[in-house]
């Protein structure tokens, strides 16, 4: 299958993140993408579809904030990466706050998502990479792989979080639906629940969201991804969460994957966007599942076996030395 990667995504390089009470080196590094592109033997660059398909998913005030946040932070006399410290968990509403710290808190769900100098450009080209991959599928390719970075599945309509700024998978899914390629399903197999994608489509009956992830009672993002979240309003029944315990290995994972694929085909999907994270790998430094490299080939084969056109969008995976091999194994399965 064709692979897409745009080197402008490498411009995003935050220095550190808050992890269990300490500042540690940022885990979502440019080296991740470099390892994957090396293992895949290159990638075609993104085409530019402009802001419209991004604005079809994200709030315009949020996009303005993202574009300008790093410059505002520096204009306020700060150095390094921009990061918030006060979060409006109670009665969040649009307020016209001018101070950069207020905006950083209002538009983020955690303190794990700093804005660096190159963040906007990289996130923009990650979204364009997903759209370019979708264009290949729309033009008749059965499967396409979009090497997106920074990842996207924790980002909602108007917030960033979990190393994510623009929701690449949601942007591609929205575009696919607009092109009449639906009904569209998003299947999220990253170790972490894709709360942003779920939130964006929670009340939409036309896009199905299924996620297999670590039980949020023990793992980030904690507050979403529980099995009783199934959608609301017109989206009632179009969200499926399959949380699994820490230590899950391939046989147990495979059973959940089969149920998710059966739900997706049973719902009538005609196109699948796969949010793929390789952080289910046994050696991942921030995750606790037990998949082996060869299991990703079985995963790719099982997903291809559902018989739908598939756009694969890269999400997480932090065992950098094994990451290229794990992604290549998935691609091999397709």
Residues recognised as catalytic: 154
Binders of ligand OKP among residues 179 to 198 (CB under 6 A) are 190, 192
Instruction: Please report, for the chain, how many H helices and E strands are present, in that order.
Output: 10, 9
Asked whether position 277 contacts ligand OKP by CB under 6 A, the answer is yes
| Contact (Cβ atoms closer than 8 angstroms) between residue 312 and residue 142 | no
Asked whether position 159 contacts ligand OKP by CB under 6 A, the answer is no
CA distance 258 to 61: 40
Asked whether position 279 contacts ligand OKP by CB under 6 A, the answer is yes
CA distance 183 to 221: 28
CA distance 135 to 235: 26
Asked whether position 204 contacts Zn ion by CB under 5 A, the answer is no
| Contact (Cβ atoms closer than 8 angstroms) between residue 242 and residue 278 | no
Pattern 273-312, Zn ion, x by CB under 5 A: ----x-x---------------------------------
Q: Return the number of the residue (190 or 295) whose C-beta is nearest ligand OKP.
A: 190
- Closest distance to ligand OKP from the beta carbon of 60 (Å): 25
Pattern 286-305, ligand OKP, x by CB under 6 A: x-------------------
- Closest distance to Zn ion from the beta carbon of 213 (Å): 8
CA distance 40 to 37: 5
What is the DSSP annotation of 265-306?
A: HHHT-SEEEEEE-STTBTT-TT----B-HHHHHHHHHHHHTT
Asked whether position 151 contacts ligand OKP by CB under 6 A, the answer is yes
Binding site for ligand OKP (CB under 6 A): 17, 19, 112, 151, 154, 162-163, 190, 192, 220, 277, 279, 286, 315-316
């Amino acid at each position: 299958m064709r692979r897409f990667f745009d080197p402008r995504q490498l411009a995003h390089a935050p220095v550190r993140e808050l992890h269990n009470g300490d500042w540690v080196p940022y885990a979502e590094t440019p080296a991740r993408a470099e390892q994957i592109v090396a293992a895949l033997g290159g990638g075609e660059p993104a085409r530019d579809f402009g802001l419209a398909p991004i604005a079809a998913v994200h709030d315009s005030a949020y996009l303005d904030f993202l574009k300008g946040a790093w410059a505002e932070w520096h204009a306020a006399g700060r150095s390094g990466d921009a990061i918030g410290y006060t979060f409006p968990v109670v009665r969040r509403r649009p307020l016209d706050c001018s101070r950069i710290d207020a905006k950083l808190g209002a538009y983020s769900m955690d303190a794990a998502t700093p804005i660096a100098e190159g963040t906007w450009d990289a996130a923009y080209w990650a979204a364009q990479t997903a759209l370019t991959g979708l264009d290949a599928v729309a033009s008749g390719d059965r499967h396409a792989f979009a090497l997106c970075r920074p990842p996207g599945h924790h980002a909602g309509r108007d917030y960033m979080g979990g190393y994510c700024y623009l929701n690449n998978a949601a942007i591609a899914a929205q575009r696919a639906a607009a092109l009449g390629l639906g009904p569209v399903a998003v299947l999220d197999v990253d170790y972490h629940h894709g709360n942003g994608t779920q939130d964006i489509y929670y009340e939409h009956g036309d896009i199905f969201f299924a996620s297999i992830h670590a039980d949020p009672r023990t793992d980030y993002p904690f507050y979403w991804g529980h099995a009783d979240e199934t959608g609301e309003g017109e989206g009632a029944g179009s969200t499926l969460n399959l949380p699994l315990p820490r230590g899950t290995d391939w046989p147990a994972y495979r059973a959940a994957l089969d149920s998710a694929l059966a739900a997706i085909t049973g719902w009538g999907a005609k196109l699948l966007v796969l949010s793929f994270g390789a952080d289910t790998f046994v050696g991942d430094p921030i995750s606790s599942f037990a998949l082996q490299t060869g299991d990703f080939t079985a995963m790719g084969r099982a997903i291809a076996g559902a018989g739908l056109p598939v756009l694969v969008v890269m999400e997480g995976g932090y065992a950098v030395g094994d990451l290229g091999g794990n992604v290549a194994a998935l691609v091999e399965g397709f």
